[in-house]
Amino acid sequence: MEGPTPISALIHAATMVTAGIFMVTRMSPLFELSDTALSFVMVIGAITALFMGFLGLIQNDIKRVVAYSTLSQLGYMTVALGASAYPVAVFHLMTHAFFKALLFLGAGSVIMGMHHDQDIRHMGGLRKYMPITWITSLVGSLALIGTPFFSGFYSKDSIIEAVAESHLAGSGFAYFAVVAGVFVTAFYSFRMYFLVFHGKERWRELAHDHHGHDDHGHHHGLGPHDDPHESPWVVTLPLVLLAIPSVVIGYLAIEPMLYGSFFGSSIVISEQHHGLSEMAEGFHGAAAMAVHGFTSLPFALALSGVLLSAWFYLKRPDIPAAIKARFAGIHRILENKYGFDDFNQWFFANGARALGGQLWQRGDRALIDGVMVNGTAGLVGRIAGQVRRGQTGFVYTYAFTMIIGVVALLGLWLSL
Q: Is 251 helix (H, G, I), strand (E, B) or coil?
A: helix
Q: What angle do CA 103, 108, 114 make, to 5 degrees?
A: 125
Q: Which of 337-342's residues contact partners 24+ apart within 8 Å by CB, and which partners?
A: 337/55, 338/51
Question: pLDDT tens, 128-172?
Answer: 899 999 999 999 999 999 999 999 999 999 999 999 999 899 999
pLDDT band at 1; cut points 50, 70, 90:
low
Tell me the backbone φ, ψ of residue 172, rounded to 5 degrees.
-65, -45
User: Has residue 52 got a pLDDT over 50?
Assistant: yes
Question: pLDDT tens, 247-281?
Answer: 999 999 999 999 988 998 899 998 888 888 889 89
User: Has residue 284 got a pLDDT over 80?
Assistant: yes
For 219-241, give the DSSP string.
Answer: B-S--TT----PPPHHHHHHHHH
Is the Cβ–Cβ distance between 159 and 92 less than 8 Å? yes
Computed over its alpha carbons, how large is the radius of gyration of the chain? Answer: 34
Distances in whole angstroms, Cα of residue 335 to Cα of each of 49, 151, 208, 338? 18, 31, 29, 8
User: Has residue 178 got a pLDDT over 90?
Assistant: yes
Of the candidates 185, 179, 160, 183, the one whose C-alpha atom is nearest the C-alpha of residue 83 is 160
What is the distance between the alpha carbons of residues 174 and 39, in angstroms, rounded to a whole number? 10
What is the distance between the alpha carbons of residues 27 and 344, in angstroms, rounded to a whole number? 29
What is the distance between the alpha carbons of residues 126 and 90, in angstroms, rounded to a whole number? 35
Of the candidates 79, 82, 101, the one whose C-alpha atom is nearest the C-alpha of residue 155 is 79
Q: Is 123 helix (H, G, I), strand (E, B) or coil?
A: coil
The pLDDT assigned to 85 comes to 93
The pLDDT assigned to 260 comes to 87
Global pTM reads: 0.83
Question: pLDDT tens, 323-343?
Answer: 988 899 998 998 888 988 899
**Residue 363, Cβ neighbours under 10 Å: how many?**
12
pLDDT band at 63; cut points 50, 70, 90:
very high
Among 109-123, 137-151, 259-273, 304-318, name the most confident range.
137-151
Average pLDDT over residues 168-184: 95
pLDDT band at 293; cut points 50, 70, 90:
very high
Average pLDDT over residues 83-112: 94
What is the distance between the alpha carbons of residues 221 and 207, in angstroms, rounded to a whole number? 8
Those residues whose C-beta lies under 8 Å from the C-beta of residue 45, and which sit 6 or more positions away, are 74, 75, 76, 77, 78, 79, 80, 81, 82, 174
Distances in whole angstroms, Cα of residue 388 to Cα of each of 382, 385, 400? 10, 5, 17
Of the candidates 125, 151, 129, the one whose C-alpha atom is nearest the C-alpha of residue 140 is 151
Average pLDDT over residues 334-353: 91
Question: pLDDT tens, 383-414?
Answer: 999 988 888 888 888 899 899 999 999 999 99
What is the distance between the alpha carbons of residues 341 and 74, in angstroms, rounded to a whole number? 19
pLDDT band at 382; cut points 50, 70, 90:
very high
What is the distance between the alpha carbons of residues 208 and 223, in angstroms, rounded to a whole number? 7
Question: From start to end of 53-150, where are the E strands?
Answer: none
The pLDDT assigned to 70 comes to 93
Q: Is 213 helix (H, G, I), strand (E, B) or coil?
A: strand
Question: pLDDT tens, 192-243?
Answer: 999 999 988 888 877 767 654 544 444 456 665 578 888 899 999 999 999 9
**Virtual torsion, Cα 23, 29, 30, 35, nearest 10 deg:** 110
What is the distance between the alpha carbons of residues 305 and 49, in angstroms, rounded to a whole number? 16
Average pLDDT over residues 311-318: 88
What is the distance between the alpha carbons of residues 186 and 271, in angstroms, rounded to a whole number? 36
The pLDDT assigned to 217 comes to 41
Q: Is 4 helix (H, G, I), strand (E, B) or coil?
A: coil
